[in-house]
Amino acid sequence: SLSLLLETPEVVFNLHKCPRVCTASPEDSNGAPATTSRAPVALAGHGSAQGSPSMTASDGKPASLASEVRQLPPKLDTYSSCGVSSNPELLIVGDSIVRYLTLPGAITYCLSGGKVVYIVELIPTLIDLHPSVKFVLAHVGTNDVMARNSSKLHADLESLCYTVESLGRRCLMSGPIPTFSKNSERFSRLFSLHIWLKNFCSAAGYDFISNFDYFWTNSSLYRSDGLHPNRKGTKQLTDNFIQFIAFSS
């Protein structure tokens, strides 16, 4: 059960409670961008978000996965609660919207500027790195909508869900949050994505976490760019995830 991930009925959200796998700090009170240190991680796996390298050795024979060494993308940041970074049950992966987000029993990977296709390619590698993972929660799509190709975006999201399922993990999709800026087209496209993803998950049997209504009329949840959640917005997104998990069977 997803609810077993939560060790207590109430989880106090505290960005400074535990050290991260990758040291990072939330934006300051003025909304200035945070500084984050990153360290490339080498591992055996299926490839990276920057493309899958050839699986053929120099002699023309297929190379084994065990001998293939990968590096995680340099823009990938990692966050986790105390003591779960090596054996998490929940993998949270997404774009910069999930930066600084932690949950009990989870590890979070944030790919700045990440699009759906990058996350699809990244998931098998992350599961290789964390075989204890039973659930994958994905939040992505914000960087795709302005390409104005809804059919491709929908196909990529379907591929993401199928990839998680094919790896024997349960897929949870986090719906987009709206923008709080002057770009009405981006807002409209994110709302359309919210509706489509909600309907797709319902029809296909995937879990869907709705975030749109919580952020729609609350500018206090955003940084000055009107796109990324601030500290309060990250807490709201975390609370949405916790509430969903707590009531999931």
What is the pLDDT, as a whole number, of residue 128? 95
Is residue 27 predicted with pLDDT exceeding 70? no
For 184-209, how does the pLDDT look when each residue is reduced to its tens digit (9 = 90+)? Answer: 899 999 999 999 999 999 999 999 99
Is residue 223 predicted with pLDDT exceeding 50? yes
- Domain positions in the chain: 74-249
Backbone angles phi, psi at 172, to 5 degrees: -120, 125
Candidates 136, 100, 76, 129; CA nearest to 20 is 100
Average pLDDT of 65-75? 57
pTM listed for this prediction: 0.75
Looking only at the bridges linking them, the beta strands covering 76-80 and 42-44 are: unpaired
Query: Within the chain, what is the greatest distance between any pair of CA atoms?
Result: 60
* Contact yes or no for 25/18 (Cβ under 8 A): no
For 52-66, how does the pLDDT look when each residue is reduced to its tens digit (9 = 90+)? Answer: 333 334 444 333 333
Least confident of 32-46, 79-93, 180-194, 215-229: 32-46
- Architecture of 74-249 per CATH? 3-Layer(aba) Sandwich (3.40)
